[in-house]
């Protein structure tokens, strides 16, 4: 009698611990995604200003500017899922990169105080986004590991937890931005 009671208690404690650890991992992912979202928004807010400052000069790159404006309005729509946000971020990052490269072809634009200031803010936000993405990826990895590894995988399948998607970190992001290169092109 007493032995079976002990076994039941041990199993129950074990189940509670597993349950709580899964919940805390799920919340950690949500928590960090909220921070990712904040910095992404910060970057989206800079886009109209950037487009306004460069569109006068960039006649040939009109399509990129239109694309990025479109991406921004998509991101600002309500009910955008986390997966969609991750996809949008990828597109915005590459569009912004193309704009920044294009800026280099216009000496007037490069010397423009406003553009320089924007470039600085964007680079700073890029660093923050990169940090937030890395933190999110780690939280997702911990979460995915927990729902795929024994014994938490049983509990996770009962709770209908599904693996989450991580941000792809491009190789160029792994390298540090070389400040000198940016200016001396």
Partner 1 sequence: MKKLSELTRFYYENLHPVLEDLDKKREEVKFRVMLFGGFILLIDLMSFSFFQNNLDILLFTNIVVGAFLYKFLTKDYTKEFKDRVIKPLISAIDENLKYAKNAHVRGAKFINSGIFTQMPDKIEGNDYISGAIDDINIELSDIHAQKEHRNSKGRTSWSTIFQGLFIVSQFNKNFQGKTVILPDCAQNAFGGLIGNWLQSHNINRNELIKMDNPEFEKEFVVYGSDQIEARYILNHTLMERLLEFKKKTKHKLYVSFVFEQIFIAIDYGKDLFEPAVFRTLLDYKVAMEYVQTLHLAIGVVKELKLNEKLWSKV
Q: What is the DSSP letter of 175?
A: S
Angle, CA of 67, 70 and 73, to the nearest 5°: 155
DSSP string over 5-17: HHHHHHHHHHHHH
Closer CB to partner 1, 35 or 69, in the complex: 35
Closer CB to partner 1, 112 or 138, in the complex: 138
Minimum gap (Å) between residue 117 Cβ and partner 1 = 10
Using CB under 8 A, list all residues that contact partner 1: 32, 35, 120-121, 123-124, 127-128, 130-132, 134-135, 137-139, 142, 174-176, 179
Closer CB to partner 1, 138 or 153, in the complex: 138
Minimum gap (Å) between residue 135 Cβ and partner 1 = 4
Minimum gap (Å) between residue 27 Cβ and partner 1 = 13
| Helix segments in the chain, DSSP class H | 2-54, 62-76, 82-103, 107-111, 113-148, 152-158, 171-174, 179-183
């Amino acid at each position: 009698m007493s032995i079976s009671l002990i076994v039941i208690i041990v199993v129950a404690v074990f189940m509670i611990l597993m349950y709580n650890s899964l919940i805390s991992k799920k919340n950690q992912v949500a928590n960090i995604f909220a921070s990712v979202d904040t910095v992404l928004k910060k970057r989206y807010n800079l886009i109209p200003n950037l487009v306004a400052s460069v569109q006068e000069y960039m006649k040939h790159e009109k399509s990129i500017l239109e694309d990025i404006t479109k991406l921004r309005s998509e991101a600002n729509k309500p009910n955008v899922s986390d997966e969609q946000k991750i996809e949008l971020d990828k597109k915005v990052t590459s569009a912004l990169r193309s704009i920044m490269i294009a800026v280099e072809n216009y000496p007037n634009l490069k010397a423009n105080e406003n553009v320089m200031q924007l470039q600085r803010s964007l680079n700073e936000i890029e660093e923050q986004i990169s940090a937030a993405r890395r933190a999110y990826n780690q939280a997702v990895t911990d979460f995915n590991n927990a729902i795929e590894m024994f014994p938490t995988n049983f509990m996770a399948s009962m709770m209908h937890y599904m693996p989450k998607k991580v941000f792809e970190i491009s190789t160029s992001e792994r390298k540090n931005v070389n400040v000198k290169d940016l200016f001396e092109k």
